[in-house]
Amino acid sequence: MLQHLDSPRTYARVLFVDFSTAFNTIIPAVLQPKLSQLTVPAPTCHWITNFLTDRTQQVRLGKITSSTRTISTGAPQGCVLSPLLFSLYTNDCTSGDPSVRLLKFADDTTVIGLIRNGDESAYRWEVEQLVLWCGQNILKLNKLKTVEMTVDFRKSPPTLPPPPPPPPHHPQQHCFCGGVLQVSGNHNLPCLKYLKL
């Protein structure tokens, strides 16, 4: 991204995507064909499907325990396999344009649009495709936690059009990869700082 920003008439739009209850939304029937397409051996696919299907759970609060409930959606919280399964579940969510990059880590997805000469069409298209992909894969975007930052070091940046859906808000800081990105400086000359947690 920094190499891109060294060129004239360039800026970047960075969309930090948050999925609502990401690990809880893995659907075994959707995951299994994806695993097969990734050439995961059939016995392993069946084992994973069995692991995710017909699990029982109950809730205890003080002395009160709920009745047992059987669930067949999602991956267990705290299970070391859950982030890997979610990564495999979202493996086919990709960008088809070299000017738009998708970075994924467990349930975090970041869309980086490298904009040149004000042409945001590829970035907007890829964000729309991401929204469609989420619908097809039964993942819900958390609109309150999905945020966008614009990184623009031009001397006189123009007013940019609003980002494509979902409508993110523009925070002054955002947690990312174990640190905090913080916007500082005046409105005309934004600067990103990386702060450790």
Q: pLDDT higher for 195 or 126?
A: 126
CA distances from 144 to 59, 134, 141, 177 (A): 28, 16, 9, 19
Q: What's the pLDDT band for 163 if we cut at 50, 70, 90? A: low
d(CA 130, CA 165): 10
pLDDT of residue 106: 82
% of the chain with per-residue pLDDT over 70? 78
Q: Which two tokens stand for residue 117?
A: 């000469």
Average pLDDT over residues 91-99: 95
Q: Is the pLDDT of residue 197 over 80?
A: no
d(CA 148, CA 49): 35
Q: Is the pLDDT of residue 188 over 50?
A: no
Q: pLDDT higher for 42 or 9?
A: 42
57 contact partners, CB below 8 Å, separation of at least 6: 68, 69, 71
Average pLDDT over residues 86-105: 94
Q: Is the pLDDT of residue 181 over 70?
A: no
d(CA 153, CA 53): 50
d(CA 136, CA 43): 26
The number of C-alpha atoms within 13 Å of 32 and in the hemisphere containing its C-beta is: 16
For residue range 37-61, list pLDDT tens digits in order: 999 999 999 999 999 999 888 888 8
State the chain's mean pLDDT as an integer. Answer: 82
Q: Is the pLDDT of residue 160 over 70?
A: no
CA distances from 155 to 10, 141, 152 (A): 11, 34, 9
pLDDT of residue 78: 84
Average pLDDT over residues 132-159: 85
Q: Is the pLDDT of residue 81 over 60?
A: yes
* Cα dihedral 73→74→76→81 (10° resolution): 130
